[in-house]
Amino acid sequence: MLQMSRRQFLKITATSLAGSSLALMGFAPDTALAEVRQYKLARTTETRNTCPYCSVGCGILMYGLGDGAKNATASIIHIEGDPDHPVNRGTLCPKGASLIDFIHSPARLKYPEYRAAGSTEWKRISWDEALDRVAKLMKEDRDANFVEKTDEGKTVNRWLTTGMLAASAASNEVGYLTHKVARSMGLLAFDNQARV
């Protein structure tokens, strides 16, 4: 004969009652546990891009939620290597594989900022203001320091007081055009982050 204490008896009774009540309500644990988890990228938008970290320039696929509707907040929820990209063929190093944290970092800089000379505060400015200021300063410096001829009269057309570092995560075509723009202004100090 089965021997059990009063406490054990109450425990078994409570468990059986709970189980049968759930079954009566239509809850079938076997079915629920066997259900296939929904594919997490099913309702996302896929966007191709390039990893911004280093000169390798690996291709990435970014998956975002939000379809542009007013009540939907767009957000990137997953990033992986692009299997069709000739550089990395779907692989990513640990830095590239953690890009999602970089994107959602509260410390990420998303707009131009300006700190006036002598000030300790950074002030947010628009892209138009930033680009106008860069263009204005470049022109001032070039007008003051452009060298057309050497002391011996040799034509050189060079501008040595400003340098430029181009981004490595650009296509060959963008790299070619960037080079043309920089050289057409006489810039000699010109390099690419791909060599850094």
Question: Given the rule CB under 6 A, which residues bind ligand SF4?
Answer: 51, 53-54, 56-58, 88, 92-93, 95-96
CB of 179 to ligand SF4, least distance (A): 21
Radius of gyration of the chain measured on its C-alpha atoms: 31
Q: The tokens of 39 are what? A: 């594919």
CB of 88 to ligand SF4, least distance (A): 6
188 near 158, Cβ under 8 Å? yes
Q: The tokens of 56 are what? A: 């390798």
Q: Tell me the residue nearest to ligand SF4 as measured from the CB.
A: 96
Q: Which of 62, 92 has the CB closer to ligand SF4?
A: 92
CB of 122 to ligand SF4, least distance (A): 27
Residue 104 CA: distances (Å) to CA of 16, 69, 101, 107, 108: 47, 21, 5, 9, 7
The one-letter amino acid code at 122 reads W
- Give the residue carrying structure tokens 């963008």: 174
Q: What residues does 165 pair with on adjacent strands?
A: 191
Which SS3 state, helix, strand or coil, does residue 60 take? strand
CB of 51 to ligand SF4, least distance (A): 3
